[in-house]
Structures are given as C-alpha cells and as structure tokens.
Amino acid sequence: MVRVGRIRCKTLMGRSGIEDVDYAINPYLGCQHGCIYCYARFMGRRNHPGEEWGTYVDVKVNALQCLARELPRKKRGVVLLSSVTDPYQPLEREWRLTRGCLQLLLDYDFPTNIQTKSVLVLRDLDLLQRFSDIEVGFTITTIDDEIRGIFEPHASPVERRLEALRVLSDSGIPTYAFLGPMLPYLSEEGLEGLLRELAQIGVDRVLVDRLNIKAGNWPPIRRALEENFPHLLPSFASALRQGSKYYEGLRLKVSSLARELGLPVYFCY
C-alpha cells in the first residue's frame, strides 16, 4: 500500500544534466513502481527518511500552476518527463498531472521526451500526436516477466510495454527502448528475442545502460538476489566492478545483434 501525500513545489522545470535534455519535469516525488535498483531513491531522503522506496508518493498539487508560470519565461529546449519518478505511475490515472503538463508543453511547443514503464501513456495518445517534436521511450530491463516482477514489482508487464511501443510506433510517434539498467546475466535472458521484437516494432533507437550501485540501491538488490538467485550473487557483484569485462562483453554482443537487425543502438556507459 502506497502512502500518498500532497506537497507544493516552488518550481517544476529543473535544469537537467542528462545528455540531449535541457529540462526535467517530475510531477510526483517518489514512485509507486518501487523498482529494486532505482537510483531516484535519494529523492526521499529529506521528506521520507528511513521509509522504503516505493511505499510513498507525494503529489505536487500545484505542479500545473508552476509550469504555466515557468514555461513562458524559459528558452525553448528539450523536456524530459520524467527523471526521478515515473510520469505514468498508477496515481497519474487519478491526478492527471502528466497529462496537464503535456497540454502546457504542447501550447508552448517544447520538444518533449517521455520515458516510462507504464502503458498508461497510451491514454494521452491524442495529445502526443499533436506535438511537433515528441519521443516516447519505454524502459525494459528484461523480457522475462518473472525477473521483471522481482526487480520492478509494480510496473507494467514487459509484453504490455512492447504492445504499447507498437501502438505508439504505428501511430507515427517516434519511439525508443531504454534497456537499462542491464542486470548482469539476468537481463541477457531472451535478449536476442527482445532486440528482434524491437526491430520488428520499428523503434527509432535503443539505448543501453549498465547497472550502477548508487543512492543506497545495493542492499535491496542483494536481498532480491539472495532470495531468488543466490547462485548468481558472486558473479553478479563482480560484474558490477568498474572496468569489469562483463559490460564490455555485453556491449559487443548487443552491438553485433543490433547491427544484424539494423537497429540503431547507443550505449550510456
């Protein structure tokens, strides 16, 4: 059960350090998806010390008023929805803050990049189709839904994400798949099939990232491994060391498959 709070923000559009992104918009603090490996858990340190990531979400109740005030004053640039929350987590169905942000971004014609793990994004297809510059990406760390259930317990099943990518792509929306963080050995299950499906859907690009240990994400990852894949723990941990051969091998494997399939692939590590 997620505890839902209400907060007021001073600003909504934050400058972003992410490559090719100028601003990030996060209508919620916290994330119901509660991914085990999530780096965004540091966001709760001030308002929710000691509370488990995924068990609370604060709704920024004045988000749309802030954005309406900020947009006319900002230089046009690429906006990412979202960087430290999922803009289409279940609460969005009721609060519609992401939809409200999209309406405003559309009014000011800001290029927009949506990244999510939820098929709720399809609700806003009518708006997405009206943007002059839009891109929608789904994060996929594994095609195996049992592994997904362990590491991303409350996000949409992988098959449904792929179906949603297909609907978006067939509707003329530029799409991408963010394969990250790639979990050593586990994300390789069915990887070739996943890349084949992405090529068949016609995503415009595939981004691949490694798993980094930061923001306190190692204890929950280790717990999940001990409970479900204890035999994998030593090799998983050693693959995570900076400069380990594991991720270089993965890069070669993905590059070669992507080349064969004609999929544009970019590595974030």
Summarize as ranges the residues that interact with ligand SF4 (CB under 6 A): 31, 33-35, 38, 40, 85-86, 117, 155
Output the smallest distance, CB 37 to ligand SF4, in A.
7
Task: Residue 127: name the closest of 113, 97, 111, 106 by CA.
Answer: 106
Considering the complex, state which of residue 181 and residue 184 has its C-beta at the smaller distance from ligand SF4.
181
Considering the complex, state which of residue 155 and residue 164 has its C-beta at the smaller distance from ligand SF4.
155
Please classify residue 1 by burial: count the beta carbons closer than 10 Å to its beta carbon, then call 0-12 exposed, 13-18 middle and 19+ buried: exposed
- Please list, in sequence order, all residues whose beta carbon lies within 8 angstroms of the beta carbon of residue 240, skipping any fewer than 6 positions away: 184, 211, 212, 213
3-state secondary structure 118-179: CHHHHHHHHHHCCCCCEEEEEECCCCCHHHHHHHCCCCCCHHHHHHHHHHHHHCCCCEEEEE
Task: Provide the β-strand partners of residue 269.
Answer: none
Secondary structure of residue 61 in the 3-state scheme: coil
Output the smallest distance, CB 107 to ligand SF4, in A.
26
Owner of token pair 């240990």: 213
Pairing of strands 28-30, 205-210: unpaired
The terminus-to-terminus CA distance of the chain in angstroms comes to: 35
Pull the structure tokens for residue 20: 């090719």
Pull the structure tokens for residue 142: 């594994």
